A and B are shown apart, each in its own frame.
Chain A
Amino acid sequence: MSIVVFVSNTKGKINKAGLEAICYAADVAKNSGDSVTAVTAGSLEGDGGAGAYGASKLISGASVNPSDSAQVTNMVSAVISDEGASMIVTSHDNDGKQVAPRLAARLNCGMVTGVTGLPDTSAGFTVKKNVFSGKAIAQVSITSDKKILALLPNSHGLHEHGGTAEVSEWSGDAGAASVTVKEVKVEESNVVPLPEAELVVSAGRGMKGPENWGMIEELASELGATTACSRPVSDIGWRPHHEHVGQTGVAIRPNLYIAIGISGAIQHLAGVNGSKKIVVVNTDPEAPFFKAADYGIVGDAFEVVPKLIAAAKAFNASK
């Protein structure tokens, strides 16, 4: 039997979260003796990296509109049926969020989103997921035969399984269009999108104004990090909404989260406490964020950040 993995693709490439979902499925398959079949809407360059991370087959639907959740659901459910799959894996990214719930309703099966670990099959079938916006972890049981798992990005990690996937074109009928794409606004940039970023430099009201973000961007650029911000900063329009991390913004799990001029309200911590290492820079030694930090610097961002930039430059030069 096979495990079917739905992955999104951006301009012919599977995103990192999608490759991580394939890698996760391949690790499940290793124990169960299954194979992994990846499926995507649109076309890919070659196998899009699916083989290297453990898929033996990649099925792409060139005629399927990736933004049309009804069409994508029609394709993925047809592939699930063709493959006789009982486990379906996807990333809990923006495309997975649009497709996986439709699939669960179509298949009338149990689904867990925001999965952070491999399934435990010692008694029934359970997986761990993040709940309370990262403030707790729940172990959730699925009792239906078919199961859908949506993996939280950056929670499994990527390791190569080796190999290439046999690529084929899906020949089914995805049905009538339910939506029309009028415009796509994606900024050309080499920066990793926030939900997938391993290194994040984030700043808050302590920066005093949007004109002072140059040093935050410079530090991020030296470290190869993605920039983020606290809620007040996005609410007052200093930074775009998509940079807001926290309970009501994006929840992230990078390897490194550097928080500059952010006091660490409980709602902000909820979005970042899955980070492996947290650095806090704040003038207030009583800032609650220091309690969640691995490294702390009590000091003024305007003095500390230039020192960090200089040290990062020296570090890069020595590499």
Chain B
Amino acid sequence: MNILVCISKTPDTTSKIAFTDGGTKFDENGIQFIVNPYDEWYALVRALELKEANGGKVTVISVGDASNDPIIRKSLAIGADEAVRVDAADTDALFVAQQIANYAKENDYNMILTGKETINYNGGQLGGMIAELVGLPYVAMATKLDLAGDTATIEREIQGGSEVLEVNGGFVLSAAKGMAEQRIPNMRGIMAARSKPLNVIAPSGGEAHTSVVSYELPPAKAECKYIDAENAGELIALLHNEAKVI
């Protein structure tokens, strides 16, 4: 069983977000970068569990420059067998999807897993785009993935609940919370990761149709208005008369 897991580099979840160059660039000063949590905690860990149960190989792929290498090594330390980095800027989802789809077409994967979105761009586009480009079924927002032979059973979030789908043969999915539990790499994994293959390949065509023009921060909040706990019930009147939300 060969599984391809797409990973992206994102700022740590506790990062304070700021911009430079007149609001056109993300300020990386003092920022710790991590593997996008949805890619790591859910997609990668579930891929490793399936490999451990069924045998095979887990390959991680990331589109970006050499600054992505530490998060790629982290994925190898957690247990991925090998890694591929497409040496190109990851500014447009369709461009990134084209790189990964082109690589996937030349190799034989039983499934391609991504996180449901990155925590920096919040696009949620990559998995569906790859599925279309390689011509496979796509399931978004998956919370469970089980295999029996060539048949995958996938549970996904839908409005007000969930649905269980069955897919035969290859597929692409985006993983949401619930699919697996985070794994902390141990020392042996970290040592082993150093000698696992990380192949850097050149981009293969594709064009970007979108670009970020500028960033801004949300408007600052007004002062908090405190209500005495003894008279907490006054809140309801304030919400009705002043905030006008109920």
Stretch of A52-60, A90-98, A156-164 that contacts chain B: A90-98
Bound form: Cα–Cα A277–B246 in Å: 11
Once the chains bind, are A113 and B232 in contact (CB under 8 Å)?
Answer: no
Residues A299 and B160 in contact in the complex (CB < 8 Å), given A134-B218, A179-B165 = no
| A312 contacts chain B at the CB level, 8 A cutoff | yes
Once the chains bind, are A293 and B224 in contact (CB under 8 Å)?
Answer: yes
Once the chains bind, are A296 and B161 in contact (CB under 8 Å)?
Answer: no
Once the chains bind, are B38 and A248 in contact (CB under 8 Å)?
Answer: yes
Once the chains bind, are B159 and A295 in contact (CB under 8 Å)?
Answer: no
Once the chains bind, are B121 and A131 in contact (CB under 8 Å)?
Answer: yes
Once the chains bind, are B177 and A244 in contact (CB under 8 Å)?
Answer: yes
Once the chains bind, are B125 and A140 in contact (CB under 8 Å)?
Answer: no
A283 to chain B, nearest CB (A): 9
Once the chains bind, are A185 and B163 in contact (CB under 8 Å)?
Answer: yes
Find B14's partner among A111, A129, A267 (CB 8 Å cutoff). A267
Residues of B close to A307: CB separation below 8 A: 231-233
Find A139's partner among B124, B158, B212 (CB 8 Å cutoff). B212
Nearest-CB residue, chain A, relative to B137: A178
Residues of B close to A69: CB separation below 8 A: 128, 131, 137-140
Most chain A beta-carbon contacts within 10 A, residue among B11, B130, B143, B227 = B227
Bound form: Cα–Cα A168–B203 in Å: 44
Number of A residues whose C-beta is below 8 Å from B?
103
Nearest-CB residue, chain B, relative to A187: B161
Once the chains bind, are A186 and B217 in contact (CB under 8 Å)?
Answer: no
Once the chains bind, are A294 and B224 in contact (CB under 8 Å)?
Answer: yes
Q: Give chain A interface residues in 176-202, CB to chain B under 8 Å.
A: 178-187, 189, 193, 198-199
Once the chains bind, are A104 and B215 in contact (CB under 8 Å)?
Answer: no
Residues of B close to A136: CB separation below 8 A: 17, 19, 215-218
Once the chains bind, are B119 and A266 in contact (CB under 8 Å)?
Answer: no
Most chain B beta-carbon contacts within 10 A, residue among A15, A94, A186 = A94
A287 to chain B, nearest CB (A): 11
| B164 contacts chain A at the CB level, 8 A cutoff | yes
Tally A-B pairs: CB < 8 A. 286
Q: Give chain A interface residues in 263-319, CB to chain B under 8 Å.
A: 265-267, 270, 273-274, 276-281, 290-300, 303-304, 307-308, 310-312, 314-315
Bound form: Cα–Cα A183–B245 in Å: 37
Bound form: Cα–Cα A296–B235 in Å: 9
Bound form: Cα–Cα A255–B129 in Å: 33
Nearest-CB residue, chain B, relative to A308: B232
| A86 contacts chain B at the CB level, 8 A cutoff | no
Once the chains bind, are B19 and A179 in contact (CB under 8 Å)?
Answer: no
Once the chains bind, are B245 and A256 in contact (CB under 8 Å)?
Answer: yes
Q: Give B102-145 as 1s and 0s: 1 = Cβ < 8 Å from A's Cβ atoms.
A: 00000000000000100111111111111111001111110100
Give the interface SS of chain A, mostly helix, strand, loop or mixed.
Answer: mixed
Residues A141 and B160 in contact in the complex (CB < 8 Å), given A69-B137, A105-B128 = no
Bound form: Cα–Cα A143–B213 in Å: 12
Once the chains bind, are B129 and A105 in contact (CB under 8 Å)?
Answer: yes
Q: Give chain B interface residues in 193-246, CB to chain A under 8 Å.
A: 209-218, 221-222, 224-229, 231-240, 243, 245-246
Bound form: Cα–Cα A313–B161 in Å: 29
A40 to chain B, nearest CB (A): 13
Most chain A beta-carbon contacts within 10 A, residue among B93, B164, B225, B239 = B239
Once the chains bind, are B234 and A311 in contact (CB under 8 Å)?
Answer: yes
| B94 contacts chain A at the CB level, 8 A cutoff | yes
Residues of B close to A129: CB separation below 8 A: 122
| A171 contacts chain B at the CB level, 8 A cutoff | no
Once the chains bind, are B214 and A139 in contact (CB under 8 Å)?
Answer: yes
| A205 contacts chain B at the CB level, 8 A cutoff | no
Once the chains bind, are A94 and B211 in contact (CB under 8 Å)?
Answer: no
| A137 contacts chain B at the CB level, 8 A cutoff | yes
Nearest-CB residue, chain B, relative to A93: B159
| B156 contacts chain A at the CB level, 8 A cutoff | yes
Nearest-CB residue, chain B, relative to A289: B224
| A110 contacts chain B at the CB level, 8 A cutoff | yes
A112 to chain B, nearest CB (A): 6
Once the chains bind, are B14 and A266 in contact (CB under 8 Å)?
Answer: yes
List 19 extra interface pairs beyond A132-B119, A134-B218, A310-B233, CB under 8 A.
Answer: A15-B159, A67-B165, A69-B138, A94-B141, A101-B93, A102-B138, A110-B210, A111-B125, A114-B122, A129-B122, A140-B212, A178-B167, A180-B165, A185-B161, A244-B177, A266-B16, A278-B221, A311-B234, A314-B236
10 pairs, CB–CB < 8 Å, chain A vs chain B: A69-B131, A101-B124, A103-B132, A111-B93, A143-B210, A143-B211, A185-B164, A187-B161, A248-B37, A291-B224
Please give me the 6 A-B residue pairs with the lowest Cβ-Cβ distance, nearest first.
Answer: A101-B128, A299-B229, A110-B209, A311-B233, A186-B161, A105-B132
Q: Which A residues are closer than 8 A to B by beta carbons?
A: 8, 10, 15, 67-70, 73, 92-95, 97-106, 108-114, 126, 129-144, 178-187, 189, 193, 198-199, 223, 234, 241-242, 244, 247-249, 251, 255-256, 265-267, 270, 273-274, 276-281, 290-300, 303-304, 307-308, 310-312, 314-315
